[in-house]
Structure 1
């Protein structure tokens, strides 16, 4: 089988300057790209299916896939998945969160399938291609002193430090765009929380530059913005590692214009990965994962400092600072929120909560968290009483470690009953993968029912994506999960009937190669 692409792992600087012209090559034999890079030190995030994939593929015809089962003809759209994928060998302090972004796309139309993957063309990616080597990842260097990386942006960087007391110009230079992908309006964006979004062509994944939201925008921007399904407005925030303001809250109208930008001070510089919205409020929890330039140079975005306490910021969704209130929370950490909604004079927020921030320790500590269940995340409910100022925390389900919760996107900010997440049983003791199943939660009348579907042994997935086909709130549609098989050393897109989460997939779309473990995806429905 022939695919279109080019391997850049050993390419010269001149070759790396070119943009993958689509020459046909054979699929790499024995999947050699699954092995750890030859000179890399022991590092979990460079091993097995965490290791990078250096090829960009084009699979344009259904016959180029191995399809088990039948692709539903009413599944018409594109499934996107983003993740870190360093193009060059990183330094000894490399962390999973720091790799170059790579987008994978499955385009589905009336039973036909095509696939491609592309690096996100960030300034860092292009600069490193010209240099022919890694300039930033895990090097423990003084980032501001790395003139190769700063280059012609040195003047704007210095002026930003003097004028605004922050390094927003630098966020564009270190934009890895490796965490999430957003379909907003008719456009597609690759996201990482340190930097502005990068706009992509939805079909070809060609990078089209930073999104300015018709307002000259240049600042950190969360990987988890929220689209209000009722109004079409997009809500987001950005936090800063250094300089001020430490936190900003953004409102973008349905036409893609930034209409509100609110500065919010926090008690310390916190890594705030996600937030939630309700019909009337924005809810931004602040947990004591404290971030700094020094911690990033050590290969960790944040350091756990529980003595600093935790809180949640609640304000009107339009960004009115006069409405801002703060409430205390028990110390813990949340990467991802399932949803939030208003219940009388209270706000209910559902999330995956940890006792402490995970993935920020040593390699040994991270392995224990991921493969020995040392710091599990569980579905947890926060209840914020706006009248009394009190907060309550309740673990809803703790049978399996869970992450990446998702819901019907048409119910964001509204009361809901169904959520889906990746799950880990703890039965796989090797470091081959983390999530060996997925869980479907039914939340109604204060009770939680969990249907857990375990994948075949040696198969590991990630964040499921719910594609609804019924009315909002109905458990009708498809659940999509990108799964890696250790035995085959390949990945496949599994399509499940969401009403039968414990059954086998309706179909499996197998690639001739693997897809490294990544983070978040989305579904973009095709217009008829």
Structure 2
């Protein structure tokens, strides 16, 4: 089966000079449904691989208002459903109100993150001027997918198999206007999902919990010293970890409506350890080395300590907010280039008895987008699979597997002019060991002008692909992804 579900009219100019709208980032116009009866499979899809890999993408449809940033585009999900040695691929736009309004207008109605002053309509997110593109994060919970925008958006629900839009649940309306920010985390042992959001008014952050039955069971304000743009949160069996980092806006300029992020090297990083169902009065704040953090690998409890592993940057670059001129695209690349920000694996130990923080480097090689098995999210774990980056670009060139108990690592690189996305760990059905399963990602091969779903052995990524599924066409590169286990597709485990 190979069907075209829908085709949109892309109004992005073919001769655009924006590198984030062409080549590896060229938007896709066609929504497909295709299975391995028609798709080429190189190797053999394992029969004990059951579940769905889903990756989100900023897939811009219309000529942008102002300077386009690669985090501005319309959300498009790419999903591969595995069962009984076969696979079905689908890609669908996330039909947010912003996407639908621009579809009706046939043009962009909202600017992006770099030039919010161009807005003429009320927007969504922490800026309040962008469309809700829902192109950043995606997660499976309570029998549905949730797609969202990093600055905060409505939690857009989709069917995990068909990717059909299911609207916004009641709790999504209850947490407006701030919505849900990436990255929300699910504890699949309890079925609960923890999330946060942030805004430009006191108390500046909120924290919440969605229960296994998809009900908002907890939602409380969290007091911060001022406007912050946190990106991730950690969870353990009993706690969540919130971030207050010294990479924030200049207060005086913000009063004038100018958002200029500055790294304050003299301000300690703060980490709030809060009981899962606690409130602002129960949070314990720990100080650490001034830094910026985008993505956490995992957190867990060990005796009196709460441990957080994440990719740290001790010198984050300024974003190109509002910059104009011939070098504006280079400014974006410089900010996104992980070899500039020098992000690498790092560990924090928060002692709940003494209130002290201990820190240590895990590795000094540049990596980001660390992922762990869903079954170990929030619990003691051994393996993290991180993304390797091409220097001078915003492109993913391979995977580095960390054995945190043995202190060793292995890697797999995709090859020249082959670029991937965030990988996910799909444990085998009835797996016992943590890495007993597969690593899945999507690859865009610029040599062949095609894309493929890549399956590796999680135990031995160096051995190369177990199988490769060639997709109907070359797809735009993306960022975040999720894995939904076969027994969680229709609801959380009992």
Q: Same fold (TM over 0.5)?
A: yes
Partner of 1:350: 309
Task: Find out whether 1:129 has 2:103 as its counterpart.
Answer: yes
- SS of equivalent residue, structure 2 residue 31: coil
- After TM superposition, give the deviation of residue 410 of structure 1 in Å: 1.1
| 2: CA distance, partners of 1:252 / 1:372 | 33
| 2: CA distance, partners of 1:214 / 1:368 | 35
Q: Could you tell me the TM-score, scaled by structure 2's length?
A: 0.88
- After TM superposition, give the deviation of residue 207 of structure 1 in Å: 1.5
- SS of equivalent residue, structure 1 residue 373: helix
Q: 1:106 to 1:230 in 2, by over 3 A?
A: closer
- After TM superposition, give the deviation of residue 141 of structure 1 in Å: 5.0
Q: Could you tell me the TM-score, scaled by structure 1's length?
A: 0.83
Instruction: Note the alpha carbon deviations across 1:172-208, whole angstroms, 9 max, x for none.
Output: 9832111111111111111223112101122221212
Aligned with residue 221 of structure 2, among 263, 269, 282: 263
In 1, are the aligned partners of 2:250 and 2:259 still within 8 Å (CA)?
A: no
In 2, are the aligned partners of 1:480 and 1:493 still within 8 Å (CA)?
A: yes
In 1, are the aligned partners of 2:43 and 2:467 still within 8 Å (CA)?
A: yes
In 2, are the aligned partners of 1:378 and 1:398 still within 8 Å (CA)?
A: yes
Partner of 1:228: 187
In 2, are the aligned partners of 1:334 and 1:357 still within 8 Å (CA)?
A: no
Higher mean displacement: 471-480 or 406-415 = 471-480
Aligned with residue 37 of structure 1, among 3, 8, 13: 13
Q: 1:397 to 1:170 in 2, by over 3 A?
A: closer
In 1, are the aligned partners of 2:116 and 2:130 still within 8 Å (CA)?
A: no
Aligned with residue 485 of structure 1, among 420, 438, 445: 445
| 1: CA distance, partners of 2:72 / 2:284 | 33
| 2: CA distance, partners of 1:10 / 1:407 | 36
Instruction: Note the alpha carbon deviations across 1:435-469, whole angstroms, 9 max, x for none.
Output: 2110111011xx52111112222211121100112
Instruction: Note the alpha carbon deviations across 1:259-299, whole angstroms, 9 max, x for none.
Output: 2111111112111110101122111122123259988x999
| 2: CA distance, partners of 1:4 / 1:443 | 44
Runs of 4+ residues over 6 Å off in structure 1: 167-173, 292-295, 297-301
Task: Find out whether 1:502 has 2:477 as its counterpart.
Answer: no
Task: Find out whether 1:414 has 2:371 as its counterpart.
Answer: no
Instruction: Note the alpha carbon deviations across 1:57-110, whole angstroms, 9 max, x for none.
Output: 222x32331211111112122211101111101133221112110011112221
Instruction: Note the alpha carbon deviations across 1:478-526, whole angstroms, 9 max, x for none.
Output: 1101111110121111111111110111000011312212111112233
In 2, are the aligned partners of 1:93 and 1:298 still within 8 Å (CA)?
A: no
Query: Structure 2: 5+ residue runs without aligned partners?
Result: 321-327, 490-494
- After TM superposition, give the deviation of residue 372 of structure 1 in Å: 8.3
- After TM superposition, give the deviation of residue 116 of structure 1 in Å: 1.5
Task: Find out whether 1:104 has 2:78 as its counterpart.
Answer: yes
Q: 1:230 to 1:93 in 2, by over 3 A?
A: same
Q: 1:298 to 1:508 in 2, by over 3 A?
A: farther
- After TM superposition, give the deviation of residue 473 of structure 1 in Å: 4.7
Partner of 2:87: 113
Partner of 1:388: 354
Aligned with residue 464 of structure 1, among 423, 430, 434: 423
In 1, are the aligned partners of 2:317 and 2:334 still within 8 Å (CA)?
A: no
Structure number with higher helix proportion: 1
In 2, are the aligned partners of 1:171 and 1:220 still within 8 Å (CA)?
A: no
Matches within 5 A, 1:439-454: 439-444=400-405, 448-454=407-413
Q: 1:353 to 1:44 in 2, by over 3 A?
A: farther
- After TM superposition, give the deviation of residue 212 of structure 1 in Å: 2.5
- SS of equivalent residue, structure 1 residue 213: helix
| 1: CA distance, partners of 2:172 / 2:338 | 47
How many correspondences in the alignment?
475
Q: 1:515 to 1:88 in 2, by over 3 A?
A: same
Instruction: Note the alpha carbon deviations across 1:336-383, whole angstroms, 9 max, x for none.
Output: 101111122121100011123357245324434656822221111111
Q: 1:523 to 1:379 in 2, by over 3 A?
A: same
| 1: CA distance, partners of 2:363 / 2:133 | 34
In 2, are the aligned partners of 1:214 and 1:257 still within 8 Å (CA)?
A: no
Partner of 1:397: 363
Q: 1:98 to 1:372 in 2, by over 3 A?
A: closer
